[in-house]
Structure 1
Amino acid sequence: MTDSTPLTSLSSALADMVSRTAPSVVAVHSHRSRATGFVWKPGLIVTADEALADEGDVEIGLPDGSTAAATIAGRDHTTDIALLRADTAIAPVKLATIVPPLGALSVVVATNRDTPSAALAMVSQSGKSWRSLRGGDIDARIELDVRLRSSQQGGLALDASGEAFGMAVLGPRRVLVIPTATIERVAAQLEARGRIARGYLGLGLQPVRLDDGVGAMVMNVDKAGPSAAAGIRQGDVIVAVNDQKLSGVRALSRTLGPASVGAVVDIAARRGGEPVSFKVTIGERPAA
C-alpha cells in the first residue's frame, strides 16, 4: 500500500470537496446557450444571468442525467444573477458568507457538456464592495486566477475547507465571483417579486459641457414620471443633485439603486440660463 504524501492528501481532499458539492450543481440549457446553476432553495436554482438566453424555453440538466423544465422566476442584469424555478428534489447547497483572502486556493464546481466539472483556482483579488458597469452593488470584489468555459459560469466557488462562498461568472478578461451576501440579497428579492426595484426619475438625459463643469440636458420627460410631477421640463439642464455637482449622466444613473426608491432629492438645474430647483421623489422603474 502506497504511503500517503502531502500531495495525495491534498488531491483526496479536493476530490472529496467536489463530490460533496456536485450533487447540488446542475446544467442550464437555454436558447443556444449552456451554463451552470446550483440549487439555492428547494425548487429554486441560481445561475448566471449573462449566460441565460433572453428568449425560449429553459431546461435543467440534473446530476443523474435526466432533465427538467424550468421557468425564469426573475433576473437581475446588474448583478448577473438569475433565479429559476424547477420541480426537482435536489438538495440545496449551503452558502457561506465568507470572503477568502488573497492567495487562497479555490475550487469551482460546475458543469461542462452536461457533466460535472471542476477547476482549481487561486484568489487573485479579494477586496471591498464595488459597483458593476451595469450599476449593480456587489458586496465583495473577488477574482479567481482560472480559465473557465462559458458553460461553467454559474458554478460554485469553494474555499479550501469546502465552503461555497459564491458563484463564478465570466467578467471582462477575468473570472469574478458573485459573493454569497449578494446572492442572498438579490435572489430573495427575485423570489418575492420577480425583479429588483430600481430608482426612476422618468428622464432621458444627454451629457453637456458647461463653463463650470458638466450638466445633463433633459431630452425627454415621462409625463407620468416623478420628474414631470416635480415640474422638470424638456430642455432643462441638471447641474447638481443634493448640492453635489453632477459628474456625469452615468454617475447619476448609478445612484438610482434599490435603496433610492421613495427618497426625495433636491435637483438644481438651469432653464434658459436661469437657475431653477426641484424636489423629486424617486419612483420605481417600470418593469418594461
Structure 2
Amino acid sequence: MSAAAAALVATLALTGAPAAARSAPESFADLAETLLPAVVNVSTTQVLRDEDNSQQDLEEMFKDFFDRQQRGDGDNGGNGGGDNGRQPEPRRATSLGSGFIIDPSGYIVTNNHVIEGADQITVRLHDDSELEAKIIGIDTKTDLALLKVEPKSPLPAVQWGDSDKARIGDWVLAIGNPFGLGGSVTAGIVSARQRDINAGPYDEFIQTDASINRGNSGGPMFDMDGGVIGINTAIFSPSGGSVGIGFAIPSNLARTVIDQLREYGHARRGWLGVRIQSVSPELAEGLRLPAAKGALVANVTAGGPADAAGIKQGDVILEFNGHAIDEMRRLPRVVAETPINQDVPVVIWRQGDKKTLSVKVGELAEETEQASAQPSSTKPSTAPNNSGKVDLLGLVVTELTQGLRDQYKLEADVAGVLVSSVDPNGAAAEKGLQEGDVIIEVDQKAVKTPADVKKRVDDAKSNGYRVVTLLVYRGGDFQWVAVRIDNKG
C-alpha cells in the first residue's frame, strides 16, 4: 500500500466516513407493488363563471382537444354547429391531481391547490373504481387538504414516515397521476432539504430529482421502508415538464396539520407573539453575538406569550423547546408545531449573555393586516434647533416634537429621535435609513435626544467596536439595522 493510500485509509478510520457509497436497490418493484394501491387520482370539476380567469378556458380547451383525440370523436357529436335556440350549457373546468390514503376508512391527503374552488371531487382508486369525496379541512399556508370518501370495504392505506431522518442522497419513490396517466412510479434521491421556495410561511421543502410532473401534486414521496416522508407539491421547470427539480412538503410538518384538520377541520398553530428578522454577520457583530444565527426579535406583541415570558426587543432566540434556531425562518415552523398552552424553554441572547425563559405557547389566530401609517411627503425646510449631526453614521437626528409627530403621522407612544436627513454617501444611507425614520435604541439602549445617539455611537467606537445596532421604527414596523461606524470621522 502506498503512503497516500495508507493516509486515506487512516483518515477514513478517524472520521468514520464510509469507504463506498451504498449501492442502488436492485429493483423497486416489490415496494411499488405494495404502495400503489394506496395512491389515488383526484379529479375536480368547477363551474366557470364569466369573470373566471381565461387561463382556465385555455386549459379546458387543450384538455377537450386531447380527450377528443384519444376518443377519436372529432367534434364531439357535432355540438359546435350552433345552439339551435337552446341556452348554452354551463362551462366546466376540470383538473387532475394525486392523493394517498392514510386510513382504511377513507381519509385521503392531497394538496389544497388540487381541490381549490372545486364544486365536485372524484377519487379514482387503484382498481379504477370511483368515489365522491368531501373536504374535511384545508390549510392554505401549507397547501394541504384532507378528503374523505365512503368506501364499501376498508381501503389499503400507507403509513407516515419520519422526514427528519431523510438524508441528502437517500433513495425515494414518487407515485402519482402525471398528466392524468394514473399510477406512475418514479425514483430518485433526496437532492436537498429545508428549501424555501417562497410558497408559504412554513417552507421547508424536500427537494428531489425523482420525476414529478403536472398531476403529481398531492401524491406521496416514500422512503425505502415504504413510509410517506413528503407530499409532492411543486416543480421548478421553465418548460412545464420535469427537469429533475421537484419539491415535497415534509411529512413531519404535514402530519401535524393533517391530524388537526381531521380533529378540528382547520389547522391550530402555536403562537409566540413576536416579529423577527434574520441575523446578518454585521448584526451579530453589533449584538456582540459569537455567530450569525438565531432569530432577532424586532417587536413583541403586547400581552402575547413572548411578552408575558419577558422576551424583549433585541433578544435573539437561539433555541425553542429544544430545537436550535440556526436560521430565522425555522422559528415560525417550530412554534407552529408546538402544542398550544404548553410551557416550553426558550434560550435567548441578551446584551452579551444567554438566558433561558419559559414561554406558554398561545394559539395563532387569523388576523386582518392593519394599515401602516405612512410618512408625509411634506419635508421641513430647515432642521429644528434641537437637532444633532452624527458624523460617524452620516445622518442628522432631531428630538421628537408634537409638530414632527403630526407631520410624519407618528403614534403618541413612539419614543426616540427622528432622522431628519441622511448623507447619501454615509454608512446610514448604505443601510437604507431615510428621513422620517425614528431611532428607538442604539446598541439596545433607549435614546431620547440627539446627544444620546451621539454618545452611544462614540462609546462604541472608543470600545473598539466597528458596528452599532439601531432599532428603527418606520411605517408601523420595527427593524434592527447594523450600521458600520465610519472611522474617518
- TM-score, structure 2 length as denominator? 0.40
Question: 1:115/1:172 Cα in 2 relative to 1: closer, same or farther (>3 Å)?
Answer: closer
Residue 176 of structure 2: aligned partner? 110
Pairing 1:195–2:266 present: yes
Pairing 1:143–2:207 present: yes
1:1-288 equivalences in 2 (<5 Å): 10=26, 13-31=27-45, 32-41=94-103, 42-88=105-151, 89-98=154-163, 99-112=165-178, 113=180, 115-127=182-194, 133-136=199-202, 138=204, 141-173=205-237, 174-197=245-268, 242-244=311-313, 257=336, 261-262=362-363, 271-272=411-412, 274-275=414-415
Structure scoring higher RCO (CA < 8 A, sep ≥ 6) equals 1
Question: 1:60/1:38 Cα in 2 relative to 1: closer, same or farther (>3 Å)?
Answer: same
Shift of 1:194: 0.8
Structure number with higher strand proportion = 1
Shift of 1:272: 4.0
Shift of 1:8: 11
Structure 1 CA distance for aligned equivalents of residues 264 and 24 of structure 2:
48
Q: Is the 8 A contact 1:27 1:114 kept in 2?
A: no
Q: Which amino acid aligns with 2:96?
A: R
Q: Tell me the secondary structure at the aligned position of residue 35 of structure 2.
A: helix
Structure 2 CA distance for aligned equivalents of residues 108 and 19 of structure 1:
13
Q: Is the 8 A contact 2:256 2:337 kept in 1?
A: no
Q: Is the 8 A contact 1:61 1:114 kept in 2?
A: no
Q: Tell me the secondary structure at the aligned position of residue 271 of structure 1.
A: coil
Residues 258-283 of structure 1: per-residue CA shift (max 9 Å, x gap): 756459xxxxx96147439xxxxxxx
Structure 1 CA distance for aligned equivalents of residues 138 and 415 of structure 2:
41
Q: Is the 8 A contact 2:172 2:210 kept in 1?
A: no
Residues 234-267 of structure 1: per-residue CA shift (max 9 Å, x gap): xxxxxxx953269xxxx9xx6994756459xxxx
Structure 2 CA distance for aligned equivalents of residues 80 and 115 of structure 1:
22
Structure 2 CA distance for aligned equivalents of residues 39 and 258 of structure 1:
23
Q: Gaps spanning 5+ residues in structure 1: where?
A: 1-6, 201-214, 217-225, 231-240, 264-268, 277-288
Structure 2 CA distance for aligned equivalents of residues 196 and 9 of structure 1:
38
Shift of 1:171: 4.7
Structure 2 CA distance for aligned equivalents of residues 9 and 257 of structure 1:
37
Shift of 1:125: 0.7
Q: Is the 8 A contact 2:146 2:262 kept in 1?
A: yes
Q: Which amino acid aligns with 1:183?
A: A
Shift of 1:156: 1.6
Q: Tell me the secondary structure at the aligned position of residue 260 of structure 2.
A: helix
Residues 57-100 of structure 1: per-residue CA shift (max 9 Å, x gap): 11101111111000110011112211001112312111222432
- TM-score, structure 1 length as denominator? 0.64
Q: Tell me the secondary structure at the aligned position of residue 151 of structure 1.
A: coil
Q: Tell me the secondary structure at the aligned position of residue 200 of structure 2.
A: coil
Q: Is the 8 A contact 2:135 2:147 kept in 1?
A: yes
Question: 1:87/1:105 Cα in 2 relative to 1: closer, same or farther (>3 Å)?
Answer: same
Q: Gaps spanning 5+ residues in structure 2: where?
A: 1-22, 46-93, 238-244, 272-297, 304-309, 316-328, 339-360, 365-372, 374-409, 417-489
Structure 2 CA distance for aligned equivalents of residues 179 and 67 of structure 1:
28
Structure with max Cα Rg: 2
Q: Tell me the secondary structure at the aligned position of residue 87 of structure 1.
A: coil
Q: Tell me the secondary structure at the aligned position of residue 159 of structure 2.
A: coil
Structure 2 CA distance for aligned equivalents of residues 134 and 81 of structure 1:
12
Residues 179-231 of structure 1: per-residue CA shift (max 9 Å, x gap): 2222221111000111113589xxxxxxxxxxxxxx99xxxxxxxxx98xx8x
Percent identity, aligned pairs only? 22
Q: Is the 8 A contact 2:38 2:156 kept in 1?
A: yes
Shift of 1:109: 1.4
Shift of 1:45: 0.3
When the two chains are superposed, the root-mean-square deviation of aligned CA atoms in Å is 3.9
Shift of 1:34: 0.7
Structure 2 CA distance for aligned equivalents of residues 23 and 272 of structure 1:
64
Q: Is the 8 A contact 1:196 1:258 kept in 2?
A: no
Q: Tell me the secondary structure at the aligned position of residue 192 of structure 2.
A: strand
Residue correspondences, number: 223
Of 110-119 and 70-79, more deviation after overlay is shown by: 110-119
